[in-house]
Chains A and B, each alone.
Chain A
Amino acid sequence: MISIRGVSKRFGTRLAVEDLTLTVPRGVIFGLLGHNGAGKSTTIGMLLAQVMPDAGELEINGCDVFADRARALARVGAIFETPAFYDYLSGWRNLRIFCEYTAPASEERMRDVVHLVGLDARIHDRVSAYSHGMRQRLALAQALLPGPELLILDEPSEGLDPEGIHEMRNLILRLNAEWGLTILFSSHLLSEVQQLCSNLAVMREGRLLFAGDWRLINTHRQWLCVRVDRQAEAERALLEAGLVDEVQYDGRARLATGADVPWVAEWLVAQGFRVEAIRPIERTLEDFYLETVHGRDPVSAASRPAAETAATTPNGDAR
């Protein structure tokens, strides 16, 4: 659905995106992660032909975003972190204005979309009277009006209350499952990304650190929680024996490549430690993200080429 090849962008002396190559398969919810200034919004801007790249090519649905913008963006909807509207006009009038720039929608279609985002009761009110959550829903409505195949969501949950975040998440899942939309989702809320996306890309300082199904990476390295009678001594011994390569607080340790939990348990018993508990810890996206951006996980960043890992379907099958 989206193909980005060798794209770079510089703002003055600052390199915003460097040689980015990324593929987003059709039908997935694809997460775009990174710190502030990592290049996520610039990438989205380039996909929407709002930011001109210095080098590289961007395609949506096989159409070049800059050479054939009308076709490339014809079935694309986008919403931004702080959706802006003409506050002095009604939500309905705003939708009319936005959709009639390119693809006029029928009254019926507009009503359906407004109903879908749950704005029926307030759609004829002035946008200045809308809450942030209502503005986000109006933004989603305008993005859905042209009947998109691809939805680009730049920080859609930013500023929403927990209920709003929950509603937004469910709506995104529904749009993906029922409407079959491909969704490119950029967010700082890692818990949201974890619940929505298996495929994701991690960027830092304009460079792509990882792209693909992070859950597959999860299986290569594992964290475990070890409780023994002489905790500090055991942790040191595990490190020296090369069974774990990192020990954190509260008995958390990361297994070395090739090691597994039963092996560690056997080894500890053989060394005379009394094992009180040993269990694998399911790694969260936050763990994965921090390891990736801080370069602590050789599997994610080095062993698997980013472009290669991106070429997977939502189920993890090779394309």
Chain B
Amino acid sequence: MMFRRQLRHESVKLFARKRTYIGFGAFVGLQVLILALLQLPRARAAFDKLLTTNGYLPEDYYAGLTLAMLIIEFSIFLMGALYLALVGGDVVAKEIEDGTMRMVLSRPVSRLRLLAIKWIACAGYTGVLMLFLGITSLIAGVIYRGRLGQLFVFVPPENLFAVFPTADGLCRYGMAIVLLALVMQIITTLAFMFSCFKMKPAAATILTLTVMFTDFVLRNVPFFQSFKHYFITHHTASWVRVYHDIIPWWTIGESLVYLTALGATFWIVGAMAFCLRDFKS
């Protein structure tokens, strides 16, 4: 009961801040921008050519579902980590910087419990942001084209070229969004860990982005191809694997387990740093 109340208050604190909504606003802005860019003749021509050369009618696929998938692919690549790192990096470090953490810790609340509440609130935020992205992308696509249409997915790094009828496509899209909400927790948790150390909130955010960017770059270096299973971004990309004809559940499960274990490690390291540190003005 008490835990639920504390979690509610933590969520109120998180969602009452204006900066929490920067991510939501930015994603909406990006959706509009991507849709506008897709209208450019060269972009449209490339899309049409890709489908026609593979024997499909572009008109069947250039609709809500496909556009939503395109928006999400670009949005996550461009801004997903940024906004999750921003909130995750803020959640502990900002409270310490502002001095509210010292006020909270003058109560006999366990530091571990406090961290658990904060992390759950962050995880909730990550889930809500990803669901928001999924739903608004679909709405934007449908509004733009006036229909759901069939789903076309093309992800070269995953060797993925797939088409689905509307109902199946919608189902796969829903599964992908749920998976996305799960795998992106690792970014929030990484930022959360840095946030527990003695550093400014901005430093925690920048460090998280640095780690993710380095991970992404190294993963794409040919030399590291045989080590790709060790890279975070290899596993966070597992959300698109639900678009394979036969869903590789085992591989997806492996990625989820890997990310969960890594997330737990980040959490424990962050918790240790937080529990052992001194809080002083």
Contact = CB atoms under 8 A, between A and B. Distances in A.
Interface of A: 11, 41-42, 45, 48-52, 69-74, 76-78, 80-86, 88-89, 93, 96-98, 100-104, 139, 142-143, 146, 152
B276 interface: yes
Interface string B263-281: 0000000000000101111
B281 A80 contact: yes
B108 A69 contact: yes
B5 interface: yes
A143 B100 CA distance: 13
A86 B18 CA distance: 12
A89 B99 contact: no
A44 B192 CA distance: 28
Contact of A89 (B2, B5, B13): B13
A42 B107 contact: no
Contacts of A93: 12
A48 B98 CA distance: 18
A297 B61 CA distance: 91
Nearest to B108: A73
A100 B6 contact: yes
A81 B281 contact: yes
Contacts of B99: 80, 82-84
Given A72-B108, A78-B106, A101-B6, A88 B278 contact: no
Given A100-B9, A101-B114, A83 B105 contact: no
B2 to A, nearest CB: 7
Contacts of A88: 16-18
Nearest to A139: B103
Contacts of B279: 45, 50-51
A41 B281 contact: yes
7 contacts: A70-B110, A73-B107, A89-B13, A98-B103, A100-B9, A101-B109, A102-B107
B117 to A, nearest CB: 9
Given A86-B100, A102-B108, A146-B107, 19 more contacts: A45-B279, A48-B105, A48-B106, A50-B102, A70-B110, A73-B108, A74-B108, A76-B106, A76-B108, A80-B99, A81-B281, A85-B103, A86-B13, A89-B16, A97-B12, A97-B13, A100-B5, A100-B9, A152-B106
Contacts of A86: 13, 16, 100
Interface of B: 2, 5-6, 9, 12-13, 16-18, 98-100, 102-110, 114, 276, 278-281
Contact of B105 (A50, A52, A82): A50
A97 B13 CA distance: 9
Given A84-B98, A88-B17, A98 B281 contact: no
Contacts of A143: 106
A50 B106 contact: yes
B165 to A, nearest CB: 47
A186 to B, nearest CB: 12
8 A-B pairs with the lowest CB-CB distances in the bound complex, closest first: A84-B99, A73-B108, A78-B106, A50-B279, A101-B109, A51-B278, A70-B108, A102-B107
Contacts of B109: 101-102
A84 B12 contact: no
Contacts of B276: 52
B278 A104 contact: no
B103 A45 contact: no
Contacts of A81: 281
Given A81-B281, A84-B99, A98 B17 contact: no
Contacts of A41: 280-281
Given A88-B16, A88-B17, A101-B114, A82 B103 contact: no
A139 B106 CA distance: 12
B258 to A, nearest CB: 34
A98 B12 CA distance: 13
A78 B102 CA distance: 10
A142 B2 contact: no
Contacts of A84: 98-100, 102-103
A69 B281 CA distance: 21
Contact of A142 (B13, B98, B103, B114): B103
Contact of B278 (A45, A69, A146, A152): A45
B16 to A, nearest CB: 5
Nearest to B98: A84
A240 to B, nearest CB: 51
A253 to B, nearest CB: 42
Given A72-B108, A98-B107, A142-B103, A82 B9 contact: no
B102 A80 contact: yes
Nearest to A90: B16
A81 B276 CA distance: 24
A206 B237 CA distance: 54
A42 to B, nearest CB: 7
Contacts of B17: 88
Nearest to A99: B107
B6 A89 contact: no
Contacts of B105: 48-50
Contact of A98 (B104, B108, B278): B104
A77 B99 CA distance: 16
A45 B107 contact: no
A74 B106 CA distance: 10
Most central of B102, B103, B107, B281 by chain A CB within 10 Å: B107
